[in-house]
Amino acid sequence: MNSFGFEIQKDNTIEYDKNDLSLAAFVLRHEPSLYNCIQCGSCSGTCPASAISSYQFRKMQLLMRRGETKHLREDVAHCMLCGKCILVCPRGVNTRNVIRQIRIALNMN
Ligand code: SF4
Ligand code: SF4
């Protein structure tokens, strides 16, 4: 079969009832601007860490808010706290502080 460089994604069930949402609640409590995110991806598009790794702020915080935190620690370790993502966010999300709060919650500071 020909490969066109993309494929249909596998089914994914989000287990909101079973996942631990306490970390997301902590981050949202300390940085409520994250509620304004519209998943546009501008942050990931401008992020220097995304250019050299699989890390994406947009995806990382979406998974965190779903309670899917398996790769969260290694994800946020890629961030250099440069702040470029804040400059391009159309919704005024304080992305840098979101990452900072995640690191605090994970005892990475
Ligand atoms: S602060 Fe982190 S997430 Fe934002 S652009 Fe810089 S490296 Fe990327
Ligand atoms: S740029 Fe702002 S609104 Fe867009 S995905 Fe990133 S945090 Fe969300």
Question: In the structure, what pLDDT confidence band is assigned to residue 1 with cuts at 50, 70 and 90?
Answer: low
Is the CB of 49 inside a 6 Å radius of any atom of ligand 1? yes
Distance from C-alpha of 49 to C-alpha of 55, rounded to nearest angstrom: 7
For residue 3, pLDDT over 90 is answered with no
Q: What is the pLDDT of residue 28?
A: 98
How much of the chain exceeds pLDDT 70, in percent?
A: 98
Atom 5 (ligand 1): residue with closest C-alpha?
47
Scored b (16 or more CB within 10 A) or e, 14-31 reads eeeeebeeebbeebbebb
Q: In a mutational test of the pocket of ligand 1, which residue from 81, 89, 93, 100 has the highest number of ligand atoms less than 8 Å from its CB?
A: 81
Question: What's the pLDDT tens digit per position in 9-62?
Answer: 889 899 889 999 999 999 999 999 999 999 999 999 999 999 999 999 999 999
What's the pTM?
0.90
Go through the domains of the chain in sequence order and give each one's CATH number. Answer: 22-105 (1.10.1060.10)
Q: Is 91 in the pocket of ligand 2 (CB under 6 A)?
A: yes
